[in-house]
Amino acid sequence: MNTDLGDYRESYEKQELLENNVSDNPMEVFQKWFLEVDENFDVGETNAMTLSTLGLDGFPKGRVVLLKKYTYEGFIFYTNYESEKGRAIANNPNVCLSFFWPAAERQIIIKGKVEKIAENLSDGYFESRPRGSQLGALVSHQSEPIENRDVIEQRLESLEKEFEGKEIPRPEFWGGFIVKPVEIEFWQGRPNRLHDRLRYQLDEEFNWNLDRLSP
């Protein structure tokens, strides 16, 4: 197999990113970009982000997860704490998040440290999920090998009967993480591959410092 993709090219010309039109706080820039993309571009799930961790095997691994909340403090997502990514985070809390919105020619790369959120917050979000998603959290021993699809279908059927007419409790192994950023880079595509890249870094006094990176 020899497939040449050298002719795959796009010219990025929609917008610009300049220092004089961004906030001193990158979380405010994130909110502005997120809302602009969500309201004006057809990107599917605007909150889809790639979470990269360093695995127990020493290899980095990225996978797409869904952002469920963001605040000045950081970015919150939910998962199985005993999954491959959960175990990787427990071993090394330094992670990277990335958003890529090609329709807007924008990318955001976030370095941060992960912490579990409070149990009552995980409880509240779990209660808001559709019943099928609640059962799904109980059914799946995430990242563990299974013999075939029938295994999880049978587990689901069994749990549907067990909890028929009952409230479904949040399992202890499932809940939220918050990524507290230490660096956020905003990337805006520009013509001739001379893209705009603005990077915010958090210093020891918890102030954000802004610089421009060469494309």
Least Cα distance to 33 among 111, 101, 126 occurs for 101
Q: Which residues contact 91 (CB under 8 A, 6 or more apart)?
A: 54, 56
Tokens of 191: 């013509």
Is 193 among the residues known to form the active site? yes
Report the alpha-carbon distance of residue 24 to residue 8 in Å, rounded. Answer: 36
**Of 25, 62, 18, nearest to 202 (Cα)?**
25
Residue-by-residue DSSP string for 98-109: EEEEGGGTEEEE
- In 3-state terms, what secondary structure has residue 46? coil
Choice among 63, 131, 193, 212 that is catalytic: 193
Beta-bridge partners for 106: 101, 188
CB neighbourhood size of 132 (10 A): 10
Angle of helix 131-139 versus helix 149-162 axis, rounded to 10:
120
Give the length of the chain: 215
Positions marked catalytic: 193
